Structure 1
Amino acid sequence: MRRGGAYSLRRRIPVDLIDAYGGRKEIVRALGTNDYGEAKRLHARMWVALDDEFQRYRSGLVAGEAVPVRPRPAEESWTQEQFEYEMESIGFFERQSLEYEWRQEERDRVERALAQDQDKLNAEQMAVRDLIRDAKADQKHAEQLLLLSRTPFSPEHQTPNDVNSTVDVDASCTFADLIDQWAKERGVSAKGVADHKSVVRWFEERVGKIGLANIEKRHVIDFKNGLVDSGQTSANIKVKLSRLRTVFSYAVSNAIIQANPAEGVTVLVKAGDGKSRLPFKADTLKLLFDGTVHTAGARPAGGKGEAAYWLPLLALYTGARLEELGQLRLIDLIDETYPTEGEAFANAKFIHIRSDARDGLKVKNAGSVRKVPVHSDLIRSGFLQFAEHQRALGQERLFSDLKPNKYGKLTAKWGEWFSGYRKECGVSHKGLVFHSFRHTFKHWARHVGIIEGVQRQIMGHSAKDVADGYGDGYSLHQIVEGMRLYRIPGFTPPIHPEFGQSATEV
């Protein structure tokens, strides 16, 4: 911690050594420097020295004689005093970890990552982001209250009730007003606003329309219990509670309500919730691709023409995300010449997944920009021929029938259609969704022995270790050879009746 202009170490004294230190409960020692890097080095050395000092006390070697040392409490036999001390110590270390200035860089890095566009974050990441924002808002509110408590009142303005007075609440403020004010101040995207208003609607449907000032923790608990009873997953409930907590936290920090009624309300994660999405097995894929779209030429309105046929196949043979595929343009199908071994070169067709603000193309993160080789099974099914057909029609996008929703997402409605279609095909397990194609690609890529880093690069996953961040990643030759290994035992992909090619042509 920083004291004045220089750094100091602060450490709790172990409970069994309090008497040895004359009843003191913590040690504060100056590090003698205002240089951050030097303070880190000195802190580490002094911390180890204190460990040694504690051990010498326990061994009776300090000052050449034994010192009083309390028995180290066994967990099962702690007194109330010892328990309270331990809980106080836990709180101390939690606060201390937040105060260390050299952690600021890491905290800033996390906040920058979580400040990405809403569409780039999954539900878990959004929950983490909301929790961080809650914590910052709570800290700001606590600082404001502390400042108020230290501000002296002028006698002419002080009343007999000032000592026990509380913050006035704004009874006229509605949930909708609150979210609009929060969104404007925080620069929240339209989708973020809609997500939070949706949670508020859920809340009011289950507990009734209660004025903000009258909402209590029991109402939030009733809301949570209602979600549990309705079969919502723990992950979904946590996201909803986090969004509700964010709204209430903002209300507290702006003196609209006195306390956050959602604070501390959570849900236990049930076994199995962490792996809700499953890979497709060969027999399930057969059910899906034996459906009317791939065998009878059906093109339902919700499937948006040829998107109904190609998006599942592309996902199965690229591991790409739905929106990454739905937004593909014809110019994103590219030919690349690349070195192989020795002085040899080869040429292959790639799907270039990238962002383009002008055309509204988005990817999840920087690591999601990549070139994915077109698998031979896709070529045999007729994918490249389909692309040429779209080019001849003068289309710019592969799936020109897909239209963006109000948030600019092309595949939102298509995803809803696919959810119903897979059930029509007999694939009804709730863990088998479109994203399961991505899990399937990962499963079989691992099964056939594609190098882990090559798998990640094809799928657009972030680097797993520091070495992955050096150079330009794996070469196109390694990516192509990895994709050449990929197959799904027991599954034969369908051949498009108009665009399909023979094995010889491929």
Structure 2
Amino acid sequence: MCTYLHGPRQGGMYYFRRGIPAPLRSIIGKREFLISLGVKDREQAKRMIPQYTTETQAILDAAASHGPDTAPSPMRAAADFALWQNKQEAAEYQYQHSMEQEEAAIAREPLVSALEQKLKLSVDKLSPEEQAAKDIIDNLKFELKLSQEKRMPERAGGERPENSSNAKGQLKQSGAAGPVSSAQTSISAMYEGYATQPGLREATVRQFRSIINHLINFLGHDIANQVSSDDLIRWRQFLQKEAAVKGKPRSAQTINNSYLAAASVTFDYGFNERLIPKNPVALVGKVRAEKKIRLRSPDFTKAERKAILSASLSIDAGRRSAQLVGALRWVPWLCAYTGARVNEMTQLRREDITKIDDVWAVEITPVAGDVKTDEARLVPIHEHLIEQGFLEYIDACPEGPLFYDPDKSGVGLQRGQYKRVGMRLAEWVRGLGIGQVGDRSLQPNHAWRHTFKTICLEAGIEERAMDYMQGHASRGVGRTYGSNTLPMLQVQLAKFPRFELG
């Protein structure tokens, strides 16, 4: 019996999993070792377990014999490098974007851009309030510069310990990989280096950049070699107390998966590129999350579905733009019959509505905007939408975005327009008395995804088809073979019952 062998996990891979004793967790900064073995054959995976058992035991022994303030030893260097490897593996499974933080940042984008443009004007063209804001910003920049200059003589020296290793037993002498840079390395430069790596999503890069700026402002300097694990623990504690969105403290998930994750990848990059001698994030534990009390299902009830879809049929234009009226009319129905993310619908363009193999479909593509998987997919249009006149609405629309007008944005403000439309939709749903701010268990847009999945299960729609239409990864290697053709998807979607409003 292989105690530490687990799996198969996502992609069919087996992995090594070993718990860390409670007294050592604060030193190592983790609750367990979680390392992908990179193989799908159980017998091959079993043969790899003894090697990992020996190496993780060495890390545990080193942690037990060295306190957090002890000078680094070769074994501690091995532990640091192993933790870096382990964080890289675990990040694939644990990282999720914080929707609340992303929406808040997007909502502030127009205000930030407008303020930046405004403050570039001469002082005589600013109001007293704007002049005061400019003074505050200039003073903060000046104080930051002074703080950096004062700290320059205090830079910490030190070289990377020899005989470091990764958690897979591949020992390497530090000199073989090149010396650690002796120059002053800035945190911001390290992050920008990380941000140039392929495969990163633009939204993640923007979000993490703002987090790294928050860290720099908290520290009062931008010198990577001067950052200790104690500094980062104080930052983590500050994040727990600082008022964030709507004056509320940040959640443990936001701090762990956004703030600490941004710091982790930045210092991981610097350590891996030999820009810094050690990674201070490796010894910073995560915030323990309180278990949330769920008072209701994340789905819409039948009454809530009826209320939203009925209201969408009689939108009062008022002072709303034609594009927003169209969004209020059609996006709830599109979400209800596709299970797509709301922003995947608000970013749709006229050319994304297409007919292939005699099947009308919506093409959800990264070309139009953010798609979480970065992969395009075709989803059939439910016959009920066609009967309601959705295709006629498309014919009457000009080329380009269906639900926002890019020409009405100021310079630099077009990015994220479709996300703001999604937030306007959420406000509209809350205005119907559904998904009030105090009811955190129900998200006024995202609840359609839960509702769609529930109805698919009730209707007997194949799991592979429903996962594809919603942009969810299929479980198991076998389900990644073969294509989800439109005719096949249409047959499955035909099982999905109509939303009756009578």
TM-score band, normalised by the shorter chain?
A: 0.5 to 0.7
The residue number in structure 2 matching 1:231 is 249
Q: 1:257 deviation in Å?
A: 4.5
Q: Contact 1:303–1:417 (CA<8 Å) still a contact in 2?
A: no
Kindly report the root-mean-square deviation, in angstroms, between the aligned alpha carbons of the 2 structures. 5.2
**What is the letter of the counterpart of residue 280 of structure 1?**
F
Determine which structure has greater relative contact order: mean sequence separation of CA pairs < 8 Å that are 6+ residues apart, divided by chain length: 2
Distance 1:245 1:274 in 2: 31
The residue number in structure 2 matching 1:247 is 266
Q: Contact 1:327–1:361 (CA<8 Å) still a contact in 2?
A: yes
State whether structure 2 residue 208 is matched by structure 1 residue 196. yes
**What is the letter of the counterpart of residue 221 of structure 1?**
I
Larger radius of gyration: 1
Q: Contact 1:319–1:458 (CA<8 Å) still a contact in 2?
A: yes
Q: 1:221 deviation in Å?
A: 2.1
Q: Contact 1:277–1:432 (CA<8 Å) still a contact in 2?
A: no
**Runs of 4+ with >6 A deviation:** 40-48, 83-86, 89-92, 138-141, 143-146, 166-169, 273-277, 403-407
The residue number in structure 1 matching 2:291 is 271
Residue deviations 1:319-359, cap 9 Å, x none? Answer: 1223432343334333455xxxxxxxxx553334346x5xx
Choose from 378, 381, 398 the match for 1:373.
Answer: 381
**What is the letter of the counterpart of residue 445 of structure 2?**
F
State whether structure 2 residue 493 is matched by structure 1 residue 473. no
Q: Which runs of 5+ in 1 are unaligned?
A: 1-36, 51-82, 115-120, 125-137, 152-165, 338-346, 494-506
SS of the residue aligned with 2:494? helix
Distance 2:374 2:192 in 1: 31
Q: 5 Å matches for 1:59-458?
A: 87=60, 122-123=96-97, 142=164, 147-148=173-174, 170=183, 173-184=185-196, 191-204=203-216, 207-212=218-223, 213-229=225-241, 230-239=248-257, 240-253=259-272, 257-265=276-284, 266-272=286-292, 278-289=298-309, 294-298=314-318, 300=320, 304-336=324-356, 348-354=359-365, 360=368, 363-365=371-373, 368-376=376-384, 378-390=385-397, 394-399=398-403, 401=405, 409=416, 411-426=418-433, 427-428=435-436, 429-430=439-440, 431-458=442-469
**What is the letter of the counterpart of residue 370 of structure 1?**
L
Q: TM-score, normalised by structure 2?
A: 0.55
The residue number in structure 2 matching 1:55 is none
Distance 1:184 1:176 in 2: 13
**What is the letter of the counterpart of residue 320 of structure 2?**
P
Q: Which runs of 5+ in 2 are unaligned?
A: 1-38, 51-55, 65-74, 99-159, 242-247
Distance 2:48 2:282 in 1: 35
Residue deviations 1:129-179, cap 9 Å, x none? Answer: xxxxxxxxx99994799645699xxxxxxxxxxxxxx978655x5443333
Distance 2:277 2:46 in 1: 45
C-alpha spacing 1:324/1:184, structure 2 compared with 1 (3 Å): closer
SS of the residue aligned with 1:262? helix
C-alpha spacing 1:335/1:222, structure 2 compared with 1 (3 Å): same
Aligned length: 358
**What is the letter of the counterpart of residue 373 of structure 1?**
I
Q: Contact 2:344–2:371 (CA<8 Å) still a contact in 1?
A: yes
Q: Contact 1:167–1:258 (CA<8 Å) still a contact in 2?
A: yes
Q: Contact 1:292–1:298 (CA<8 Å) still a contact in 2?
A: no
- Overall identity of the aligned pairs, in %: 18
Q: Contact 2:461–2:495 (CA<8 Å) still a contact in 1?
A: yes
